[in-house]
Structure 1
Amino acid sequence: MNIWHICIFELRRILKIRSVVLNLFILPLLLIFILGTALSSTMGTADDVIPDSVRVGIIHLSTESGGGSDSLNQALDTFVHSPAVAEMVKVQDFKTEEEAVHSLRTGKLDFAVMIPSDFEENVMRGKEARLQWIRGKDNTLNTLGETLFTRFTDEWNRQMAMTRVLGPEVIAAMSSSSKSGAESSTSITVVNPGKTGTAYSASQYYAASMLAMFMLYSGMTTSTSLFGERDNRTLIRLQAAPIGNGVIFAGKIAGNSLLAFLQATTIILMTSWFYGVDWGTHPWYIVLTCVGITLASMTLGVIVALICKTTASASATIQGIIIAMTFISGGFRPIPIDFVQRLSEFTVNHWALQSFLRMMLDAPVGEIVYSILMLGVVCAVLLLISGLIYRKAGYRYE
């Protein structure tokens, strides 16, 4: 008896368990269908996401509030009427905040900008000056409005800083030598990541995230299998055979690894055929990513199996770890929080998901390889930890 015999026996034994087939093969396909259909309106499709024009209300400063307010209002008018910005915003002028708020509530405006009374005073003192936003009902249009007018304040602060350092004469000479200076300062381009003209759909996103999550569940079958030999007292019989513990252990790991690859192949092919999921044009990178997830799954199952004392505690532990990593990495829903996004970079799911999405978007090969390498780093750390624990605890009946 060698590793290959144990591997095939392990694979055949697992595939006879109906609950395993249901949880690892059928359940992920159902979740991908449900999530992809229910949340299709919240994510992009294969077309470019072109933002709608935003109806913006601008509450101008009164000329009585300061001598420099006319120049500020003039600069703001120049900005919003420049060709690049005028395509995205429709501007209306207001004298009071109450009028703008009323228009927002009645749906006549999408977004409003109010110039604080101390705006130019902060600029003259060298402080950072910002406009005040009055947000509407559409978060997407709010984000677009904030981005555009933040661009204006950044440019205004930069020009004021240059005026203080170089003097108004130098700035005037620079402006007269470049007639297109004002227009170039408002040039804004909106593009999508990856290949121009592509964006992943909800089905693609959840196909990638559920594939990563359920491949990790193969590690739970590994820990259950390792505990099963102990609980059924068959490990003593195996150890009585003329084979070492390492062969038994490696055979079980190999069998569950084949199960993970079979699972990945099924999910990828079924989602491609029935759900129309486009996995990109890099099949070998997909295989390499699946190898990394499989390695992480097996090492995670080994770590939990060697640390926990019972099957129930091992199953609960590994399920908690997988769900936590999936949640943090945005597998259920993208989380736009910087701390959570930084924390997700330490998880298997994050780099697996990024690898799949970048392949789907046909991103540059360097970006795909980077994600796969980072996945390999996480796997290497898990492999090192599992090796140290196995060397100390071993796989034996206690």
Structure 2
Amino acid sequence: MNIWYICIFELRRILKIRSVVVNLFILPLLLIFILGTALSSAMGTGKETTPDTVRVGIVQSTEAVSSPVGEALAAFVASPEVAKMMKAQDLSSQDEAVDALKRGKLDFAVIMTTDMVQQWMAGETVKLQWILGKDNTLNYVGQTLFTGFTDGLNRQAAMAKVLGPETMKEIARQAGTESASGHSNIMVSSPGHSDQSYSASQYYAAAMLAMFMLYSGMTTINSLFTERDKKTLARLQAAPVGNGVIFAGKIAGNSLLAFMQAMIIVVMTNVLFGVEWGGHPWLVVLICVLITLASMTLGIIVALVSKNAASANALMQSIIIVMTFISGGFTPIALDIVQHISEFTVNHWALQSFLSMMLDASLHEIMNNILMLGVVCAVLAAAAAVLYRKVGYRYE
């Protein structure tokens, strides 16, 4: 019962601070509106678009053109299935391909060297070299098509090791034909239903919700340090209430604030901006609970390792901004190394959980993202518990 009293008092105290109300409730909605409106043309409106035919420049060495791999590539490009998605053009040099890409005459370019042909003839795994153009969607289509082509070559090369080198030429022709027919049903779309994608408003609603819920951890930091700085913690500890009860009550109050913030943002973005959060409302609630847990535990960790409120707030803000950035909360980042690092953050799994529901992905995929978010929260909770046992919350 004492925890409940402290919790309600803490919640009422925070809600009286106008700056907190503005930062936690009004600012997120404003940012979602601005980002969703400004970037709607760049990110899309939530409706799937069919990519244009990819204009591909092909650069081959003289030896490569007359080789079995060159013949396989010619058969692949000329196949009706691939021709629907790609318009190929032979070029004499890499410099010519780069110049055509810069001028917008090509969307994508591939390079086949003599070394690649020799590697394949020796039964080694090969990859085509390519140069990306200006359109990310067309780059993706080109990479998908030619990756399938080289996969077919490598698969047949592995078989040729058993059958002998005299079968390489015929196998190369089969690889080109199989690669072409294997891509007759290629579709570039987002995960989930094939007729649905997320809009800029949906993306930034999910990203900003996760970020501003973590900012609720800063209210926890300020609350914990305020009692110390005003020397009221000593008075609380003099009462017949344990330190753990005081600490738990303050955390519970801030947790309720964070959860209230999440529900208001979810409802208001749906009403004002038409953001669809998916068909699993209880899973949205579960994700918000986990983010609340992560926010509170992260705030506790930062508060317990910092000497004063200023340094704690600076550290907490830095952590939130870095996690939001590398998880793609400000703008999607395509670098593989950054994506791997982001998998250790709360924002990444929170964003992926929300987006998978927005795209009506399978329940298995959604639960997998939520499970990973829960694992990150469990690690933070364990770290917070260990620090609290060592440091504690007391006036010194």
Take 1:377 and 1:248, find their aligned partners in 2: how far apart are those partners? Answer: 27
Take 2:365 and 2:207, find their aligned partners in 1: how far apart are those partners? Answer: 18
Superposed CA deviations along residues 50-76 of structure 1, whole A, max 9, x for unmatched, are 2210122334554xx47x816444422
Query: TM-score under structure 2 normalisation?
Result: 0.90
What is the aligned counterpart of 1:204 among 202, 205, 228? 202
Structure showing greater Rg: 1
After TM superposition, give the deviation of residue 315 of structure 1 in Å. Answer: 1.0
Superposed CA deviations along residues 165-194 of structure 1, whole A, max 9, x for unmatched, are 2147878999999xx857534445224311
Aligned to 1:21: 21
Is 2:370 the partner of 1:372?
Answer: yes
Paired positions, count: 394
After TM superposition, give the deviation of residue 277 of structure 1 in Å. Answer: 0.7
The 5-angstrom pairing of residues 88-103 of structure 1 reads 88-94=85-91, 100=97, 103=100
Take 1:182 and 1:149, find their aligned partners in 2: how far apart are those partners? Answer: 9
What is the aligned counterpart of 1:264 among 258, 262, 265? 262
After TM superposition, give the deviation of residue 90 of structure 1 in Å. Answer: 1.5
What is the aligned counterpart of 1:237 among 231, 235, 238? 235
Aligned to 2:39: 39
Take 2:266 and 2:191, find their aligned partners in 1: how far apart are those partners? Answer: 23
CA contact (8 A) 1:28 1:214 kept: yes
Take 1:249 and 1:353, find their aligned partners in 2: how far apart are those partners? Answer: 30
Aligned to 2:346: 348
Aligned to 2:77: 80
Aligned to 1:310: 308
Superposed CA deviations along residues 343-396 of structure 1, whole A, max 9, x for unmatched, are 212111111111111111111111111111221111111111211222222221
Superposed CA deviations along residues 19-51 of structure 1, whole A, max 9, x for unmatched, are 101111111111111221222233243222322
After TM superposition, give the deviation of residue 16 of structure 1 in Å. Answer: 0.8
What is the aligned counterpart of 2:320 among 295, 303, 322? 322
Take 1:22 and 1:98, find their aligned partners in 2: how far apart are those partners? Answer: 55
After TM superposition, give the deviation of residue 137 of structure 1 in Å. Answer: 3.5
> Alpha carbons of 1:246 and 1:355: their partners in 2 closer, same or farther (altered >3 Å)?
same
Take 2:190 and 2:161, find their aligned partners in 1: how far apart are those partners? Answer: 38
CA contact (8 A) 2:160 2:171 kept: no
Comparing 202-211 with 41-50, which one deviates more in the overlay?
Answer: 41-50
The 5-angstrom pairing of residues 115-194 of structure 1 reads 115-167=112-164, 184-190=181-187, 191-194=189-192
Take 2:191 and 2:52, find their aligned partners in 1: how far apart are those partners? Answer: 19
After TM superposition, give the deviation of residue 157 of structure 1 in Å. Answer: 3.3
Query: TM-score under structure 1 normalisation?
Result: 0.89
Counterpart residue type for residue 298 of structure 2: L
Comparing 14-23 with 385-394, which one deviates more in the overlay?
Answer: 385-394
Take 1:302 and 1:140, find their aligned partners in 2: how far apart are those partners? Answer: 43
Take 2:268 and 2:205, find their aligned partners in 1: how far apart are those partners? Answer: 10
Take 2:59 and 2:316, find their aligned partners in 1: how far apart are those partners? Answer: 56
Take 1:381 and 1:72, find their aligned partners in 2: how far apart are those partners? Answer: 51
Unaligned 5+ segments in structure 1 are: none
Take 2:6 and 2:94, find their aligned partners in 1: how far apart are those partners? Answer: 75
Comparing 342-351 with 185-194, which one deviates more in the overlay?
Answer: 185-194
After TM superposition, give the deviation of residue 210 of structure 1 in Å. Answer: 0.8
Unaligned 5+ segments in structure 2 are: none
CA contact (8 A) 1:44 1:201 kept: yes
CA contact (8 A) 2:297 2:381 kept: yes
SS at match of 1:57: strand
Q: Identity of paired residues, percent? A: 65
> Alpha carbons of 1:248 and 1:99: their partners in 2 closer, same or farther (altered >3 Å)?
closer
> Alpha carbons of 1:143 and 1:212: their partners in 2 closer, same or farther (altered >3 Å)?
same
Comparing 244-253 with 102-111, which one deviates more in the overlay?
Answer: 102-111
After TM superposition, give the deviation of residue 151 of structure 1 in Å. Answer: 2.0
After TM superposition, give the deviation of residue 309 of structure 1 in Å. Answer: 1.6
CA contact (8 A) 1:155 1:185 kept: no
Counterpart residue type for residue 238 of structure 2: A
Counterpart residue type for residue 200 of structure 1: Y
After TM superposition, give the deviation of residue 231 of structure 1 in Å. Answer: 1.1
> Alpha carbons of 1:284 and 1:147: their partners in 2 closer, same or farther (altered >3 Å)?
same
After TM superposition, give the deviation of residue 341 of structure 1 in Å. Answer: 1.5
